[in-house]
Structures are given as structure tokens and as C-alpha cells.
């Protein structure tokens, strides 16, 4: 039959819940009767029934088989489904739903409609979700087609006319939707990217055919086999297995054409350079990206300016210039950009920088972070007096001394008050940096959310695999992870992101050059928490950490292995010979720091292949923020735990409770799903902990961010960081009543764990509270303690006495004592936590503010 029988069975099964007597076996038997009746009426795969016909037949079958109560429930279910379809059509402003729109839930479609689907000059939506994903997939597949053996050679000795190809840029409108690959038509923006790709490769002598011949070959259907590649990329996105970063979905095959989320710019200490950086930042914001800038090169406030005999205003004043530009230049015309402002700890203005954002209204378009190096840690941990020299950016001469321990306490106090600054551990970032030799120095800046370190004018294309989708059901109904499908998905998406580099339309020429020199990509994950729920594994358990370790190692191994295969076919990244790759070094901490018997893959063999063939991308993996992407994919954010299992949603007609889809199903199966239970969970800060009606096994498995001790947030980040080439976007959630000393202890533990950065969020610390899912009378019915994994690590690995004392005191590690952290939520829910776009609630995850209603995010990658 030409329809999905399982959907019928699921619909009947859901109707049974309303009768409090669900039975999967009965639902499947009734489905068989429905199918038999449809076949008797002449329906088949060649003549499939309509949805309405199927639903009518289900109702008739239920009544005939004596299930009148289920029939009533099914009629109500059918009515609700009709309302959902009508709501989807309203959101998309259409009278028909395409297959993707039917598959996606209303929240996903609402996010797509608000910022991803193309609109006309009247601001009307002019494409559906299916068209959007095809638009993106077609563009990305051009990045594969251009390397076809029919037209490309890895040997750079071919000569073709560049001008002939560029001439087509003047007549794009003439070829709009005139050429196609299989059934996929190329619009003028697809053609623009094809021309740019051709020109870039022709300049390197890699094209064996003229551009006119390439056009003839497309017209003659010589490349129709690449329709399969478009299908592959389309299905990855349409089935919610993988999504690229937001600018790719917004701009691929569209006017702007800029596909990257992450950029880093330099900030030289001269007015011309400062203005050039400001101009470049504006172009990046306009194109849909965010910018990271290290301001440490700017002389300190009050220093003499030799050219004018004036006095320098200091780095913070120049940050205000970028902040103002951000305010007025919206990303792709849809939202304001994001910034990362970095100052290194040795700068004389560091104390002003650290405390600058503790007052509201300051640098609101910035995340700020302090960059730390080895010398600071040596002083902090090993020097009794703790004197640390602050140095002039001009000549690095000492300006004054500060006490390192007082400075780290000041940073911790500021973060305790306002969730900023974060810390960036430049010593850890550069420990396995294979690119330093090629770029002439260490990495000194990151993108706005801190997970992507970049050199000046580099960019990065990010994408995330939805791990919650990569499961298969066993005969007993339980789930298991599909490792083979995971490998296949990693390989496909590595190629996807590599192709994005070629088809990208970069906002300034320097970014185009630097991005193609390194070909850096950032493949990451989302849906980790949902995956663990499905597998019935607690996030903060030894088993949970072990699985996450395996997932992280596989991600980087397979993506690097695929990058080597790409290097053999398309060429290694241009600066590869100047890096440490030929020496057998790789940018993966776990390879060096974990015993080889704990490695699951043949890393030494991979290194040998890199030495022989090179690698296509300088780095391949990053765990980025996935706020809006997770909403589109209907899964949990990144590698974060779920922020709440249930919360109250307020709409025009009143209020209702939203529940995580997995816990909803589990509660239904245990006959526990009621509005009363949802209210109790919502009033318990979205947690199951301590609710008498909830079975203990559920409380243990279905943990939320607030259930997990802050030290276990750090441990989870470390598990991923060991194997991820770049870094991790992660929020270290802390309860309201932690002390500034606890924040400082978290810094010490984070560095000892080998993290590359840390963002701490104490509940209630922001001027505009963003984790706002409770009412003011809420009380928390549980305590939070570190896992045994954390306490064992502290006991067995931390030897420095100062660090050990600080961390042990914070974690309350004492022989024979329980570790308990209490939390009074009633004090921690200030007003003002509203989304600036839709005025609904915000949450704080992965270092970003995210609206759980419309998908607004102050980050750029998700």
C-alpha cells in the first residue's frame, strides 16, 4: 500500500491512551483490519487512498470491532490533527503542506518561517520547507560537482580562460532556472557559486574544461548523477538527521550567499586598522555572521599616543564602536549580530574589562572573555605572593603588578553577578595547535560563543548531527544506538561542510583567502540528552560519560578519516605542508592524554595516512550552540542536558504545559501523563526529582541541567573536549546560592580537566533572567550532588595544594560526609526574562540566550 501503516497504528495507540487502556498489540491488529478494508475497496500502491479516506476507515473499523470508546478518542485525535494542519498552513501562509511541512512539528515550522524561509519584498513567505532544503542541498552539491573527474584534475597545470567564466556573472538573470541537475533546477545564485568555484580552481590550474564546455555538459545532462548527491544532502536535513549553521540555511542559493557563522577579525593599534576592522565587522553582520575580536593589542587607557601627543581611550571604548555598529546592522536583515570581545589577562586594563558588564546596558551585543596563558596559571598556583605583571601592549614592558588570586576572584565575582566574563584557556587551545607554525603564532581569538578558535580573517562553517535520530528499535521495544549509521552520517556531513567552503560567498576578500587556506570546518552534535533518554542512561553517570566519550571519539576519527579521503581526491588544504601534520602531530588531546588501550580506533594508522596524503581540513570538529537548529530538528541542544522536562506556556487564550516529547511518551506508557503531573514538574523547576508520583528509575534517568551538579557539567564538557578538535559550547549551570568562591573553584577544575574555555551561569545572575520556567512560589524538592566520577577525579588527580583546597572546599569533599548543595528557587526568578522579538520566555544554554517560542537567539551558529 502507498502509505505508512505504522502511522495508523500509532494514531490508534495514542487514541487508546485517552481510554486509559493502551495496548500496542491491539492497535496493530486493528491496523491490519483497516488495511484489509482499504484493499477490498481497490486501493493499492498505484492507487493510494487519501488521508481523509484512511481516517474514515479507521473510525469505521473501530466501531465495527466494538471499540466505541477508542473511536470517540480517535475522532478527537483526528480533530486535533486537523487543527495542527491548519495551524501549520497559517504559519507558512499556504493552502497546501509539502511533505517536509507535514513531518515537522509546529514549533519547527514557526522557527523556519520566522527567519529561514525566503520572503518577497512584501515580507511574504515565498517558499516551503521542502523548497528551502532543496535550495540548500543543490548549492552544496555544486561543491561536489566542481571536483568531478570530468572537469577537475588535482594536478595544477591546466590553463583556462578566467574572463570567459566571469563574463557569465553579468548575465545570471538569463540563466535563472534554465539549467538543471536531474530534476533540480539551478537558480541564478546557484550559477553564481558555480562560476566562483570554477574561477578559484581555474586560477590554480585544476580545470580541464572551459567554462562554456562545463555549461554545455550540464545542459547535456552529463552531471545528472549528482542529483543523487542533492538527494542525499536534502534527506539529511529534511529527515532532521543533520542541519548546517543558520547562515547556510538562510543564504544558500539566495542573494546574500554567505554561509558561515563564525569569523575572527584583528584589531591593530592604529586608527586606520581599527576602522578597517569596524567596516569588515559591519559586512559580516550584514551577511549573517558573528565576530570575535581580541582587543589586547590596543594600548591601555591613559597611555600616550605619540602621533597626536594625546591620551589613549583604551580597548573598552573601541568595543563600544563595534557594539554600536552591531546595533544598527542586522544579520541578513533578520537579527542583530553577536560579538566576542577578548582581553588577555596581562593587559593593564584587565580589571576594568572584567567588571565592565556587571552593570546593565553595557556592551549588550557582546559576550566578553578573559584569555589566560601558562604564566598566569604558574603564578596563581605556585607562587605564594601571587604577584603577576600587567604589561604594555606596545612593548610588553611591565606597567604594574596585581595579585593573581585576587584577580581570579574578581573575575569569579563578576561572573557570579552577571554571567560574564567567560574564560578562554589559550594555553589549552594552543597545546595541540598544529597550525601555529603555518600562521606564525598561537591562536588568540574565538567566535562569539567561544567554541571555535580562529586566526584573523578565518571563518568556519558549522553543522550538527542529531544523535537522537540515530537509534534503532530492538525486538523488545528498547532503543540501541546505530553506530554504522552514525559513521555514514559523519562521512556525509564532513563532505557537506567541506563543499560549503567552496560555494560560500564570503563578505570580504581577506576572509575568502584565509578560509580557503585552512578549509576549517566544525562538525558537531545535538540531541545528546534526548539520545541518553531513549537509551535509558543517566547523563551524569559513568555509563553516560562512557557513551559520550565513544560518540566524541567516533565523530572526530571518522570526520578526519573522511577529510583524508577528500584530500586524496580534491587536494589537501593549501597550508597543510607548513603545519605539523607532516610531522605526525594531530589536534586531538585524547590521542595523547588517554592510554592507547582506551582508544577505540586506529589513530596511528590515520596519522600515517595524513603524513602520506595530507588532510583536506585543518580541523574538522566543533560542538557549537544549536539553539534554533535544535528547535528545527526537535531535539535537545548540543551536548547540553535538557533545560526542563515540562514548563508552562502562556498563549493568547490562556496557558498550558509543554512537555519534552520523550518524557511525555514515558509518562503516557506508565499512565502518569496528566496536567496535574505536568504542573508539579513545571513547579519543580522542570525536574522529576523528589516528586512522589514519579518512579525512582525515571527520576534517575531523566535528569535536567538543574539536576546536575556544576562539577558534572564540567566533567561532561571534558569528556567531549578530549576528542573534539576545536572546543565546546557549554553552559556550566549553577544554582542561585553558590558563592563567588564556587565560581573560582569551577575555573580551577575546568583548567585541570583540560577544557579550552568556560562559561558559568548562576541562576538569577543576569540582569534579564533567562532561565524563567517557574513561578515565584516554586520550591525545589531535591538536592544536587557531584557524581562519584567527579569526586574520584578530584581525589586521584589534583595534586596542587591550592587547587585541591579550593575545589575540595567548594565540593564539600570530606571523609565520611555527604556532598549536598541546596537551592532556594523562590529567590531566583526576577522579572524581565522576555524575548525581544515575541515577548515570551528565554532560556540560557551553550552560552546563549534562546527563546523557546520563536527561536530567537543571540548566537549566530544555531
b/e map of 727-759 (b: 16 or more CB within 10 Å)? bbbbbbbbbbbbebebbbbbbbbbbbbbbbbbb
447 within 8 A of 342, measured Cβ to Cβ: no
Top-ranked range on mean pLDDT: pick from 27-41, 638-652, 741-755, 823-837: 741-755
The structure's pTM equals 0.91
**C-alpha cell, 129:** 520547507
Question: For residue 1, is pLDDT > 90?
Answer: no
Question: For residue 385, is pLDDT > 80?
Answer: no
Give 695-737 pLDDT, tens digit per residue.
Answer: 999 999 999 999 999 999 999 999 999 999 999 999 999 988 8
523 within 8 A of 491, measured Cβ to Cβ: no
- The reported pLDDT for the residue numbered 852 is 61
- The reported pLDDT for the residue numbered 246 is 93
Candidate list 197, 449, 635, 835, residue with the active-site label: 449
Question: For residue 316, is pLDDT > 50?
Answer: yes
**C-alpha cell, 622:** 566543533
Q: HEC states along 284-330?
A: HHHHCCEEEEECCCCCCCCCEECCCCEECCCHHHHHHHHHHHHHHCE
Gap between the Cα atoms of 230 and 124, Å rounded: 27
Read off the pLDDT of each residue in 495-502 and give the average, rounded to a whole number.
98
Q: How is 369-397 classified by DSSP, letter by letter?
A: EEEE-HHHHHHHHH-SS-EEEEE-TTT--
Who's near 541: CB < 8 A, 6+ residues apart? 787, 789
Is residue 447 annotated as part of the catalytic site, yes or no?
Answer: yes
Top-ranked range on mean pLDDT: pick from 277-291, 429-443, 777-791: 429-443
- The reported pLDDT for the residue numbered 330 is 64
pLDDT band (50, 70, 90) for residue 68: confident
What is the rounded (10 degree) CA torsion for 591, 594, 599, 603? 10
Gap between the Cα atoms of 209 and 249, Å rounded: 31
Helix (H, G, I), strand (E, B), or coil: what is residue 733? Answer: strand
Site of grid cell 560526609: 817
181 within 8 A of 223, measured Cβ to Cβ: yes
Gap between the Cα atoms of 344 and 373, Å rounded: 8
Who's near 56: CB < 8 A, 6+ residues apart? none
Segment among 198-207, 541-550, 625-634 with least mean pLDDT: 625-634
Candidate list 127, 344, 420, 451, residue with the active-site label: 451
- The reported pLDDT for the residue numbered 832 is 38
Task: Provide the CA 49 distance to its chain's centre, in angstroms.
Answer: 40
Pick the more confident residue, 613 or 845: 613
Gap between the Cα atoms of 64 and 69, Å rounded: 12
Give 21-65 pLDDT, tens digit per residue.
Answer: 778 888 888 889 888 888 888 888 778 888 888 888 888 998 988
854 within 8 A of 838, measured Cβ to Cβ: yes
Gap between the Cα atoms of 157 and 154, Å rounded: 9
Give 103-147 pLDDT, tens digit per residue.
Answer: 999 999 999 999 899 999 999 999 999 999 999 999 999 999 999
Question: For residue 552, is pLDDT > 80?
Answer: yes
pLDDT band (50, 70, 90) for residue 838: low
Is residue 449 annotated as part of the catalytic site, yes or no?
Answer: yes
**CA 780 to each of CA 44, 251, 824, 828: distance values in angstroms, whole numbers, following the listed order:** 56, 44, 7, 11
pLDDT band (50, 70, 90) for residue 464: very high
424 within 8 A of 750, measured Cβ to Cβ: no
Long-range contacts, 811-819 (Cβ 8 Å, 24+)? 811/711, 811/745, 811/786, 818/785, 819/785, 819/786, 819/791
Query: What number of other Cβ atoms are within 10 A of residue 149's Cβ?
Result: 9
- Phi, psi (degrees; rounded to nearest 5) at 522: -135, 80
**C-alpha cell, 796:** 586521584
Helix (H, G, I), strand (E, B), or coil: what is residue 87? Answer: helix
| Nearest CA among 295, 574, 582, 319 for reference residue 424 | 295
Question: For residue 283, is pLDDT > 60?
Answer: yes
What one-character DSSP code corresponds to residue 357?
G
Judged on CB neighbours under 10 Å (0-12, 13-18, 19+), 523 is: buried
- The reported pLDDT for the residue numbered 783 is 82
**C-alpha cell, 554:** 567516533
Candidate list 447, 469, 726, 733, residue with the active-site label: 447
Gap between the Cα atoms of 283 and 399, Å rounded: 36
**C-alpha cell, 544:** 553516560
Helix (H, G, I), strand (E, B), or coil: what is residue 194? Answer: helix
Amino acid at each position: 500500500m502507498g502509505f505508512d501503516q505504522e502511522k495508523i497504528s500509532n494514531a490508534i495507540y495514542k487514541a487508546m491512551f485517552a481510554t486509559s487502556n493502551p495496548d500496542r498489540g491491539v492497535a496493530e491488529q486493528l491496523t491490519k483490519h483497516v488495511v484489509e478494508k482499504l484493499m477490498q475497496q481497490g486501493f493499492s500502491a498505484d492507487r493510494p487512498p487519501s488521508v481523509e479516506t484512511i481516517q474514515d476507515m479507521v473510525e469505521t473499523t473501530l466501531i465495527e470491532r466494538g471499540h466505541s470508546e477508542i473511536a470517540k478518542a480517535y475522532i478527537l485525535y483526528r480533530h486535533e490533527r486537523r487543527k495542527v494542519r491548519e495551524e501549520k498552513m497559517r504559519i507558512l501562509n499556504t493552502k497546501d503542506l509539502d511533505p517536509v511541512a507535514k513531518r515537522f512539528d509546529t514549533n519547527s515550522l514557526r522557527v523556519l518561517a520566522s527567519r529561514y524561509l525566503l520572503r518577497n519584498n512584501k515580507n511574504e513567505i515565498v517558499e516551503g520547507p521542502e523548497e528551502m532544503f532543496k535550495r540548500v542541498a543543490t548549492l552544496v552539491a555544486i561543491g561536489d560537482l566542481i571536483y568531478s573527474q570530468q572537469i577537475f584534475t588535482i594536478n595544477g597545470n591546466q590553463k583556462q580562460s578566467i574572463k570567459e567564466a566571469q563574463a557569465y556573472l553579468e548575465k545570471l538573470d538569463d540563466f535563472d532556472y534554465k539549467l538543471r541537475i536531474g530534476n533540480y533546477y539551478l537558480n541564478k545564485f546557484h550559477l553564481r557559486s558555480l562560476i566562483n568555484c570554477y574561477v578559484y580552481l581555474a586560477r590554480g590550474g585544476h580545470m580541464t574544461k572551459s567554462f562554456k564546455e562545463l555549461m554545455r555538459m550540464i545542459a547535456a545532462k552529463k552531471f545528472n548523477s549528482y542529483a543523487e548527491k542533492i538527494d542525499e544532502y536534502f534527506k539529511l536535513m529534511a529527515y532532521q538527521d543533520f542541519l548546517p549553521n543558520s547562515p547556510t540555511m538562510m543564504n544558500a542559493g539566495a542573494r546574500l550567499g554567505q554561509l558561515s557563522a563564525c569569523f575572527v577579525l584583528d584589531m591593530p593599534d592604529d586608527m586606520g586598522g581599527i576602522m578597517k576592522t569596524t567596516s569588515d565587522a559591519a559586512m559580516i553582520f550584514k551577511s549573517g555572521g558573528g565576530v570575535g575580536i581580541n582587543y589586547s593589542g590596543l594600548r591601555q587607557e591613559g597611555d600616550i599616543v605619540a602621533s597626536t601627543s594625546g591620551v589613549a581611550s583604551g580597548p573598552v571604548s573601541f568595543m563600544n564602536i563595534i557594539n554600536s555598529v552591531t546595533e544598527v546592522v542586522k544579520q541578513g536583515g533578520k537579527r542583530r549580530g553577536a560579538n566576542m570581545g577578548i582581553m588577555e589577562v596581562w593587559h593593564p586594563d584587565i580589571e576594568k574589562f572584567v567588571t565592565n558588564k556587571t552593570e546593565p546596558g553595557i556592551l549588550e551585543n557582546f559576550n566578553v572573555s578573559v584569555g589566560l596563558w601558562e604564566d598566569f596559571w604558574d603564578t596563581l598556583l605556585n607562587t605564594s605572593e601571587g604577584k603577576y605583571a600587567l604589561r604594555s601592549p606596545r612593548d610588553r614592558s611591565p606597567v604594574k603588578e596585581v595579585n593573581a588570586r585576587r584577580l581570579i576572584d574578581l573575575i569569579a565575582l563578576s561572573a557570579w553577578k552577571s554571567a560574564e566574563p567567560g574564560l578562554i584557556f589559550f594555553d589549552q587551545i594552543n597545546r595541540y595547535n598544529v597550525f601555529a607554525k603555518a600562521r606564525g603564532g598561537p591562536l588568540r581569538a574565538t567566535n562569539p560563543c567561544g567554541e571555535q578558535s580562529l586566526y584573523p580573517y578565518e571563518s568556519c562553517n558549522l553543522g550538527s548531527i542529531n544523535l537522537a535520530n540515530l537509534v534503532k528499535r530492538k525486538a523488545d521495544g528498547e532503543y540501541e544506538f546505530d553506530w554504522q549509521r552514525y559513521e555514514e552520517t559523519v562521512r556525509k556531513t564532513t563532505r557537506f561542510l567541506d563543499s560549503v567552503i567552496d560555494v560560500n560567498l564570503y563578505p570580504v576578500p581577506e576572509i575568502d583567502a584565509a578560509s580557503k587556506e585552512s578549509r576549517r570546518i566544525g562538525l558537531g552534535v545535538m540531541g545528546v540528552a534526548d539520545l541518553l533518554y531513549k537509551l535509558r542512561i543517566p547523563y551524569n553517570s559513568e555509563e553516560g560519560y562512557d557513551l559520550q566519550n565513544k560518540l566524541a571519539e567516533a565523530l572526530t576519527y571518522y570526520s578526519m578519516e573522511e577529510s583524508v579521503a577528500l584530500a586524496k581526491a580534491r587536494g589537501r588544504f593549501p597550508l597543510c605542508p607548513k603545519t605539523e601534520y607532516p610531522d605526525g602531530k594531530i589536534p586531538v588531546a585524547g590521542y595523547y592524554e588517554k592510554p592507547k588501550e582506551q582508544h577505540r580506533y586506529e589513530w596511528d594508522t590515520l596519522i600515517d595516512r595524513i603524513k602520506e596524503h595530507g588532510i583536506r581540513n585543518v580541523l574538522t570538529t566543533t560542538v557549537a550552540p544549536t539553539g534554533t537548529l535544535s528547535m528545527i530538528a526537535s531535539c535537545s541542544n548540543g551536548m547540553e542536558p535538557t533545560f526542563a522536562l515540562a514548563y508552562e506556556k502562556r498563549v493568547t487564550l490562556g496557558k498550558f504545559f509543554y512537555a519534552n516529547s520523550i518524557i511525555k511518551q514515558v509518562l503516557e506508557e506508565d499512565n502518569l501523563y496528566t496536567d496535574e503531573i505536568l504542573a508539579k514538574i513545571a513547579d519543580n523547576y522542570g525536574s522529576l526529582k523528589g516528586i512522589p508520583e514519579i518512579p525512582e528509575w525515571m527520576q534517575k534517568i531523566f535528569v535536567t541541567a538543574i539536576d546536575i551538579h556544576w562539577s558534572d557539567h564540567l566533567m561532561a564538557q571534558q569528556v567531549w573536549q578530549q576528542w573534539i578538535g576545536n572546543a565546546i559550547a557549554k553552559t556550566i549551570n549553577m544554582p542561585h546560592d553558590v558563592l563567588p568562591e564556587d565560581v573560582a573553584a569551577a575555573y580551577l577544575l575546568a583548567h585541570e580537566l583540560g577544557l579550552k574555555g568556560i562559561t558559568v551561569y548562576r541562576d538569577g545572575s543576569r540582569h534579564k533572567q533567562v532561565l524563567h520556567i517557574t513561578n515565584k512560589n516554586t520550591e525545589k524538592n531535591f538536592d544536587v550532588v557531584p557524581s562519584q566520577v567527579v569526586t574520584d577525579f578530584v581525589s586521584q588527580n589534583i595534586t596542587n595544594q591550592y587547587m585541591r583546597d579550593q575545589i575540595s572546599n567548594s565540593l564539600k569533599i570530606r571523609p565520611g560526609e555527604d556532598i549536598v548543595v541546596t537551592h532556594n528557587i523562590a529567590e531566583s526568578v526576577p522579572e524581565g526574562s522576555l524575548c525581544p522579538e515575541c515577548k515570551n520566555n528565554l532560556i540560557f544554554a551553550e552560552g546563549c540566550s534562546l527563546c523557546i517560542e520563536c527561536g530567537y537567539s543571540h548566537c549566530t551558529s544555531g
